[in-house]
Structure 1
Amino acid sequence: MPLRDAFMDLVLGGSCAGCDRPGSSICRSCRAILTAATPYVTWPDPSPAGLLPPTATTAYDGIVREVILAHKEHARYALAKPLGEALALAVQASLGCGRAVWLCPVPSSRSTVRKRGHDPLRRITAAAARHLSRQGYDVRVADALTVVRRPADQAGLSAGERAANLAGAFGVRSRWAERLTAQPVLLVDDVLTTGSTLAEACRALSARGIPALGCAVVAATRRRVASGS
């Protein structure tokens, strides 16, 4: 954690986003839950058409859920670093022996970013790229996707309804279309639930001739089928 964040937590009486223990934004134990996990390939059940292999670092529940929500909804920026390190684990697992990749975050609408006051996934993705670069990987962030049709609120929708709601929601920015052709690309997100959002992102890239390697996420909900089952 940056010294500035640690100092502010101390002065302002901060607490851990995961367990609410007084002190830093995330305590050592909660940070270890994020960054010492073993990534795994996990498919939603049912799995939406077009979804490429999704790799998650850990399960979306308990402390992990609290940390992700604190960063996303309450703008606790210091959490981007540990969440980025967690995402980096999923990226490494997705790459296998590969050492170079473009990380393409799933986009949020401008109104959503304005409402939150920041773009949490973009922040996490940048942190993951920095972390991997320090380990000798050639990793760059590609802001290639954009929201071209804002879908309705996803809350309460079934997996099939979510897929229909998101169909055609994303597009590829023209300046990125040629740049990413024949390049190794991974789609990234913070949480995998039904897989509909990532499947739409996969479709948007494929439609412009950009076949991604797969998907990497910090966490996945437990409503899914493990790889090989």
Structure 2
Amino acid sequence: MRGWWQELVGLVLPVDCAGCGAPRAVLCDACREALCGRAARRVWPEPVPPGLPAVYAAVAYADEARSVLLAHKERGVLRLAGPLGTALASGVRAAVGGSGAWLGAGAGGGAGPLVGLGRGAGADGGVSRMWGRDADEAGGVGVGVAGGTRESRRLVLVPVPSARCAVAARGHDPSRRIAQAAAGELRRAGWPAVVCAVLRQRRPVADQTGLGARQRLDNLAGALEVAAGGERLLTAGPVLLVDDLMTTGASLVEAVRAVAAVGGRVAGAAVVAAPARAFGVSAK
């Protein structure tokens, strides 16, 4: 209810650009271009934690991008989920194009990577019609699939969950909402993407603010699990982790462990933003 109220208030009252403060624009053209107009790149935290998958980010977590992410996450400006989803979709495309794990059965049984699937990939003339409801709309577990063998063509996006107390305080789950927007963006471009929100926190964790890289790893170790019924979705083929922000990579490492614990395989990760230093020289 809080989320719906925030949406209604934003529609009725004048708002300023979440990025630069320009009047009467939820997101001005210049800030939208800064957020969505660049190709995503591979990023590395420092230090790189063991078990971190290849991560691709659309923008540096600074200036307008930082303001937009905070406005969506902390102030509940839900209309920002659309442009943030567009930025995340850029990271997804880069992650899929940069991972050999999407070859073979995980890409529909063909010889090429999933990135090569176009609108004509399905027998019905378009991959956008190959799927029923988004997995997230079915409660995070059920996926509507139009045909048995077509299920292997999925691009499965698994959002890293926020702490339950944080979701309750904010009135929405930012990562899940952005993942849904990204999946919609990808499907409109002919990519058969679904959101499988099957990761859950199995125990409380401390606030990560102020914790170092090692402390964050220890804080999150063993904190996530796969919801009952989610195993079959994570073992049908490689999955891609998605989140709004990567800082130390500890959340992604724990998500990889949780997926692997049920026999799943993480092929990579995509985020909207990462620290500016993460876009520097590649890890040695």
141, 159, 165: which is aligned to 1:111? 165
Task: Calculate the TM-score normalised by the size of structure 1.
Answer: 0.93
The match for 1:55 is 56
| 8 Å Cα contact 2:234-2:259 kept in structure 1 | no
| 8 Å Cα contact 2:57-2:270 kept in structure 1 | yes
Cα shift at 1:38: 1.7
| 8 Å Cα contact 2:202-2:223 kept in structure 1 | yes
The match for 2:133 is none
| Amino acid aligned to 1:211 | R
- Distance in 2 between residues matched to 1:177 and 1:26, nearest whole Å: 38
| 8 Å Cα contact 2:10-2:77 kept in structure 1 | no
1:91 and 2:145 correspond: no
Secondary structure of the structure 1 residue equivalent to 2:158? strand
Aligned positions of 1:26-175 closer than 5 A: 26-96=27-97, 97-99=113-115, 100-175=154-229
Secondary structure of the structure 2 residue equivalent to 1:136? coil
Cα shift at 1:182: 3.4
| 8 Å Cα contact 1:193-1:223 kept in structure 2 | no
1:186 and 2:240 correspond: yes
Structure holding more strand per residue: 1
| Amino acid aligned to 1:128 | A
Task: Calculate the TM-score normalised by the size of structure 2.
Answer: 0.75
Secondary structure of the structure 1 residue equivalent to 2:162? coil
Secondary structure of the structure 2 residue equivalent to 1:80? helix
The match for 2:118 is none
- Distance in 1 between residues matched to 2:256 and 2:246, nearest whole Å: 14
Which digits, 9 at most, give the CA deviation of each residue in 1:117-145, with x for residues without a partner?
11111110000000100001100000110
Cα shift at 1:8: 7.0
Cα shift at 1:81: 0.1
- Distance in 1 between residues matched to 2:226 and 2:12, nearest whole Å: 44
The match for 1:203 is 257
Moved more, 103-112 or 16-25: 103-112
| 8 Å Cα contact 1:9-1:23 kept in structure 2 | no
| 8 Å Cα contact 2:52-2:249 kept in structure 1 | yes
Secondary structure of the structure 1 residue equivalent to 2:82? helix
- Distance in 2 between residues matched to 1:154 and 1:217, nearest whole Å: 18
| Unmatched 5+ stretches in structure 2 | 1-5, 98-112, 116-153
Of the two, which has the highest radius of gyration?
2
Secondary structure of the structure 2 residue equivalent to 1:113? helix
Identity over aligned residues, as a percent? 46
Runs of 4+ with deviation above 6 angstroms: 5-8
Distance 1:114 1:228, change over 3 A: closer
| 8 Å Cα contact 2:7-2:78 kept in structure 1 | no
| Unmatched 5+ stretches in structure 1 | none
| 8 Å Cα contact 1:10-1:23 kept in structure 2 | no
Secondary structure of the structure 2 residue equivalent to 1:182? coil
- Distance in 2 between residues matched to 1:190 and 1:179, nearest whole Å: 22
| 8 Å Cα contact 1:55-1:216 kept in structure 2 | yes
